[in-house]
């Protein structure tokens, strides 16, 4: 840490990170990340760590920012492995910087917050997101960045859209970035943008836990989700239709796999597994609720709830952009994500 002012600001950022990480409408599991620029060093959340642990655990990694930005400008594949730019002497635990480090490095402001805000995502998955967001974000200096895989492709997408003065990015099929010179101003901007993008969620009926337990049977190992809110994706017919039609954002694919599995009328868990030939991380039972595979990670539970929270906020007439088959594949086969998932499972 270069100066005492930087140290104070990093402490403030850790406190804000813990607040953001504790709000499932802003981040889920190891998603989202925060950063502070101190001279030429970028302090960024480590890959696979959870923002909610920012006060109790050392989750911030120092990265040499100038060579990283130069690598993005050269389109050097090294920029896709930000661990190569971590400052070893200040990183005794050998943590890997977030996959999304380049997003933070490219924003010129000192403090950057990247969140998977459900209000933002519910807009960012819509085909006319840019037009709808423009109506809501009047007076905000913002830019829309169409979907790219996080890492170097997303960094290049941001570089193409970034204009001087922009301090808010809406990342298509992904989330929100806000940036400011201080932690206080960044938090204020986050809440301002979030309230401008806020959407009312459709309410769903209650899940039928007894019926779900019967559908799981004695030997499937399937269980109820960690959050009761997760059931809404199976209970609300429109949410279910949106979920079944494809993958809407990267962390869904990474933690739950492609799209969502919906049981057919009369099917129990064993029937669904027999039909698919695999055990999906989650199964949606129309009008009844959701069951999770017994070994599904806490990250999978967080993302199942996120799906319900996002789809409940999407207008039922909206046209949606789904990730393509190739985009799903590049997430599933992505080495950096496999690392993040492994840490998540261990944690
Ligand atoms: Zn993200």
Give residue-wise pLDDT tens across range 275-308. Answer: 999 999 999 999 999 999 999 999 999 999 999 9
Asked if residue 4 has pLDDT above 70, the reply is yes
Task: Report CA(114)–ligand 1 centroid distance (Å).
Answer: 6
Distance (Å) from CA 115 to ligand 1 centroid: 6
In the predicted model, what is the mean pLDDT of residues 166-189? 98
What's the rounded mean pLDDT across residues 155-159?
A: 95
Ligand 1 centroid vs 98 CA: distance in angstroms? 10
pLDDT for 343: 65
Q: What is the pTM of this model?
A: 0.95
* Ligand 1 centroid distance, CA of 106 (Å): 15
Tens of pLDDT along 223-255? 999 999 999 999 999 999 999 999 999 999 999
Copy the structure tokens of residue 314: 């999407």
| Distance of CA 41 from the midpoint of ligand 1 (Å) | 21
Dihedral of CA atoms 248, 252, 258, 262 in degrees, nearest 10, equals: -90
Neighbours of 227 (CB within 10 A): 17
Work out the burial of residue 335: count CB atoms within 10 Å of its CB; fewer than 13 is exposed, 13-18 middle, 19 or more buried. exposed
What are the tokens at 9? 């600001």
Cα-to-centroid distance, 206 and ligand 1 (Å): 31
Residue 110 has pLDDT above 80, yes or no: yes
| pLDDT value, residue 333 | 84
Higher pLDDT pick, 118 / 338: 118
Q: Mean pLDDT highest for which of 12-16, 78-82, 84-88, 339-343?
A: 12-16
Cα 173 to ligand 1 centroid, rounded to whole Å: 10
Which sign does the torsion angle of CA 266, 271, 275, 281 carry? positive
Longest pairwise C-alpha distance within the chain: 65
d(CA 31, ligand 1 centre) in Å = 6
For residue 100, the CA-to-ligand 1 centroid distance in Å is: 7
The pLDDT of residue 347 is above 50: no
- Residue 322 confidence class, pLDDT cut points 50, 70, 90: very high
Average pLDDT along the chain: 94
Q: Can you give the pLDDT at residue 334?
A: 78
Structure confidence at residue 1 as a pLDDT band (50, 70, 90): low
């Amino acid at each position: 840490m270069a100066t005492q002012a930087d140290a104070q600001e990093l402490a403030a950022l850790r406190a804000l990170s813990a607040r953001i990480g504790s709000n499932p409408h802003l981040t889920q599991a190891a998603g989202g990340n925060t950063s502070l620029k101190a001279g030429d060093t970028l302090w960024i959340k480590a890959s696979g760590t959870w923002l909610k642990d920012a006060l109790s655990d050392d989750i911030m990694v120092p990265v040499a920012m100038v060579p990283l930005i130069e690598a993005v400008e050269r389109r050097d594949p090294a920029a896709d492995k930000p661990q190569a730019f971590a400052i070893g002497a200040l990183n005794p635990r050998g943590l890997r910087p977030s996959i999304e480090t380049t997003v933070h490095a490219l924003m010129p402001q000192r403090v950057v917050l990247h969140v998977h805000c459900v209000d933002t995502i519910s807009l960012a998955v819509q085909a006319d997101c840019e037009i709808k967001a423009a109506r809501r974000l009047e007076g905000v200096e913002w830019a829309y960045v169409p979907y790219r895989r996080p890492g170097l492709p997303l960094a290049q997408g941001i570089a193409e859209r970034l204009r001087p003065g922009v301090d808010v990015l809406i990342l298509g099929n992904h989330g929100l970035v806000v940036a400011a010179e201080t932690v206080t101003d960044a938090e204020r901007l986050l809440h301002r943008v979030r309230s401008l993008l806020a959407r009312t969620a459709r309410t769903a009926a209650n899940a039928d836990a007894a019926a779900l337990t019967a559908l799981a049977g004695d030997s499937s190992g399937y269980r109820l989700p960690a959050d009761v809110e997760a059931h809404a994706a199976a209970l609300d017919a429109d949410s279910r239709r949106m979920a079944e039609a494809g993958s809407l954002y990267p962390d869904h694919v990474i933690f739950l796999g492609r799209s969502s599995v919906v049981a057919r009328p009369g099917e129990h868990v064993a029937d669904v597994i027999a039909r698919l030939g695999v055990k999906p991380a989650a199964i949606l039972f129309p009008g009844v609720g959701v069951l999770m595979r017994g070994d599904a990670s806490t990250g999978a539970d967080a993302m199942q709830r996120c799906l319900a929270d996002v789809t409940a906020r999407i207008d039922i007439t909206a046209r949606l952009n789904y990730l393509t088959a190739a985009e799903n594949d590049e997430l599933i086969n992505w080495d950096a994500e496999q690392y993040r998932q492994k840490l998540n499972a261990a944690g």
